[in-house]
């Protein structure tokens, strides 16, 4: 007896209708074996935590809000049993989260660079001004 991958015996079901074999052979019933395959795929992810972080901490161009909305839709679809819809909304939320994270990181990096350059320029200007006043005051 044949076994399927899940360990259950395979079912033998005769085909309905007439089967004409090779010429000269009488018609015979054909046996088709059906096996049940237990596909264990992981449930679709909704990325709700990542979406909340993007919404709260880095929300450039409202991408964090859009990602949060798609994450909630993915969770609703998963609860309703529509796994394909949940996968679609989850992948859209993941894409929006990636863009929000990248754009937010770039904005933070540019902000740090601007602050450092401005503080260095201000420090240099203060040093030039103070040394200029000190030198001109004592020359007279």
Same domain flag for 31 and 89? no
| 43 occurs within a structural domain | no
| 97 occurs within a structural domain | yes
What is the Cα–Cα distance from 74 to 94, expressed in whole angstroms? 11
| 59 occurs within a structural domain | yes
* DSSP secondary structure code for residue 13 in this structure: E
| 140 occurs within a structural domain | no
| Domains identified in the chain, total number | 2
Q: Which domain holds residue 20?
A: 1-38
What is the Cα–Cα distance from 37 to 10, expressed in whole angstroms? 11
21 vs 106, more confident: 106
Same domain flag for 5 and 54? no
Res. 129 pLDDT band, cuts 50 70 90 = confident
Share of the chain above pLDDT 70, in %: 64
The model's pLDDT over 99-116, given as tens digits with 9 standing for 90+, comes to: 999 999 999 999 999 999
What is the Cα–Cα distance from 102 to 108, expressed in whole angstroms? 10
Supply the DSSP string of 117-138, one letter for each residue: HHHHHHHHHHHHHHHHHHHHHH
Same domain flag for 19 and 64? no
Same domain flag for 90 and 130? yes
Same domain flag for 70 and 118? yes
Name residues whose C-beta falls within 8 Å of residue 4's C-beta, 6 or more positions apart in sequence.
Answer: 10, 35, 36, 37
pTM: 0.60
Q: Are 50 and 59 in contact (CB under 8 A)?
A: no
Res. 43 pLDDT band, cuts 50 70 90 = confident
């Amino acid at each position: 007896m044949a076994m399927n991958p899940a360990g259950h015996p395979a079912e033998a079901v005769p085909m309905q209708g007439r089967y004409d074999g090779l010429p000269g052979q009488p018609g015979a019933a054909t046996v088709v074996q059906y096996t049940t395959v237990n596909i264990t795929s992981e449930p679709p992810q909704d990325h709700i935590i990542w979406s909340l972080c993007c919404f709260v901490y880095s929300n450039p161009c409202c991408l964090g809000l859009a990602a949060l909305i798609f994450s909630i839709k993915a969770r609703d679809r998963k609860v309703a049993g529509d796994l394909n819809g949940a996968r679609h909304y989850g992948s859209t939320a993941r894409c929006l989260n990636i863009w929000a994270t990248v754009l937010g990181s770039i904005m933070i990096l540019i902000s740090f660079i601007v602050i450092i350059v401005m503080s260095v320029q201000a420090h240099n200007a203060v040093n030039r001004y103070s040394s200029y006043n000190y030198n001109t005051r004592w020359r007279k």
